[in-house]
Amino acid sequence: MSAALHQLGVAGLATALRERKVSAVEAAQHHLARIRRHQDLGAFVAIDEDLTLARARAADAQLAAGNAPALAGVPIAHKDIFVTTDFPTTAGSRILAGYRSPFDATVVRRLAEAGAVTLGKLSCDEFAMGSANENVAVPAVGFERAVPVRNPWDPRRIPGGSSGGSAAVVAARLAPAATGTDTGGSIRQPASFCGVTGIKPTYGRASRYGMVAFASSLDQAGPMARSAEDCALLLSAMCGPDPDRDSTSLDRPAEDFSRALNGSIEGLRIGVPTEFLGEGVAPGVRAAIEAALAEYEKLGARRVEITLPRTELSIPVYYIIAAAEASSNLSRFDGVKFGHRARDYRDLADMYGKTREEGFGDEVKRRIMIGTYVLSHGYYDAYYLQAQKVRRMIADDFQQAFAQCDLIAGPAVPSVAWKLGEHGDDPVADYLADIFTLPASLAGLPGMSVPAGFDGGMPVGLQLIGNYCGESRLLNAAHRFQQATDWHLRTPGGFEQ
């Protein structure tokens, strides 16, 4: 049993734990050993084996007493954008070096209350700003300097970002699940690149309290795991109102997303935007998506051609709004209360300047400068205000589409994962890779990526987008697809044993 522990997903492992076929301590030890063995991926930035095993023993006590919650003993890892009391939090940045939070993020707390056992914290692009997990300033466990996370399917390639560490550990079977955050696609894009399942719920479904802010009107937490069934279990624990701590939290009760997983999809109308399969999509990606859509038609769903005419505008709109909000949010990192502070400075203004110069990476500085510019006097109306108007139009386009269909489908990303360093100093190349994930983020809609095939040996993700609070329908559609296919069960070479 122990030899195959890492091949069990959340649902399978939770069942094995409840049936006492394996203990939580055994599950934790097994995954910790795999983490040590595969440190070269650069995925973990903090682990504490003693703490993890103590949590596992507590879970075993609950299981033995018969009063264990749904995820008791299931190992999980957290993206280093969520604050935690027991592990350091850096958000991938030097400016938060040495920071320890006095509280846990709501998502972390809720998963702990559901019984999940934390394995450690995961590498991410600095302040979640990136599409490749190459904007990293914090050394991973086993490294003396910062390194990008590597894709388990091909270590010469990126895992995607900003939740690249989360996607990589699930793909490599170092953890059955991980938390991620999605601002413009940072769950769905790396899930696609690494061949795992990831879902971004409706904006406000999961509390943002304790999630280090990048762009407050866009940031949303979500789970990454092997399957839609696993994601449904995790999302059920993560979501729920948190009005006392997060003003953007939806006043909507917690929901059991696994309840409707085996519902029929006969007659389900799947909208396919013409913009999502046009020029710029790699032929191998298009072929995989077409095959996935054909599979849905075999299952009884109906394909409907739709249009999202402002898809291309989502890139400039997103990078204006997100940069503006980042400029505001990151102003708190100035060396006064926490994190890095410059050693030598003349006065307060000099301390601010030197601290931020030393603490922030190039991409973070770039977005702060862009955001400050578009919010400045004389440019606010021309850029920021116009971007907000187009954002509303993008959301309206989706509502017109949902009058014709129940779900929207297409590729999560136009290509498979590119090689490390391939985009060099061209940030726009990274930005363009988000073209299919950005529209749903701007509209606040739920979206997910589901493994749907391979192109040149690298995974391809099918993106499914639902209407507001339509997570159950999304997860059911993904689950039925995964019952008919085995793409989500494939393991990268070298990580099977």
Is the pTM above the cut of 0.95?
A: yes
Q: 294 CB contacts (<8 Å, ≥6 apart)?
A: none
How far out from the chain centre does Cα 230 lie?
Answer: 15
Q: What is the pLDDT of residue 343?
A: 93
Average pLDDT over residues 483-496: 96
CA distance 203 to 84: 22
Look at residues 453, 435, 437, 449 and name the one whose alpha carbon lies nearest to residue 153: 453
Tokens 């922030």 belong to 360
pLDDT band at 3 (very low <50, low <70, confident <90, very high): low
Active-site residue, selected from the candidate residues 93, 123, 162, 249: 162
Share of the chain above pLDDT 70, in %: 99
Q: 219 CB contacts (<8 Å, ≥6 apart)?
A: 128, 181, 182, 183, 208, 211, 213
Task: Indicate whether 430 pLDDT > 90.
Answer: no
Active-site residue, selected from the candidate residues 123, 186, 258, 472: 186
Question: Long-range CB contacts (< 8 A, 24+ apart) of 383-391?
Answer: 383/320, 384/320, 384/321, 384/324, 387/316, 387/317, 387/320, 387/321, 388/321, 390/310, 390/313, 390/317, 391/317, 391/321, 391/442, 391/443
Q: Write the single-letter amino acid at 449.
A: S
pLDDT tens per residue, range 226-274: 999 999 999 999 999 999 999 999 999 989 999 989 999 999 999 999 9
Residue 55 near residue 118 (C-beta atoms within 8 A): yes
pLDDT tens per residue, range 176-207: 999 999 999 999 999 999 999 999 999 999 99
Known catalytic membership, residue 186: yes
Cβ neighbours around 265 below 10 Å, total: 19
Share of the chain above pLDDT 90, in %: 94
Tokens 């044993």 belong to 497
CA distance 378 to 370: 14
Known catalytic membership, residue 162: yes
Average pLDDT over residues 167-172: 98
Task: Indicate whether 422 pLDDT > 60.
Answer: yes
Known catalytic membership, residue 389: no
Active-site residue, selected from the candidate residues 23, 79, 123, 236: 79
Cα angle at 165 between 196 and 195, to 5 degrees? 15
Q: What is the pLDDT of residue 69?
A: 97
Task: Indicate whether 99 pLDDT > 60.
Answer: yes
CA distance 330 to 234: 30
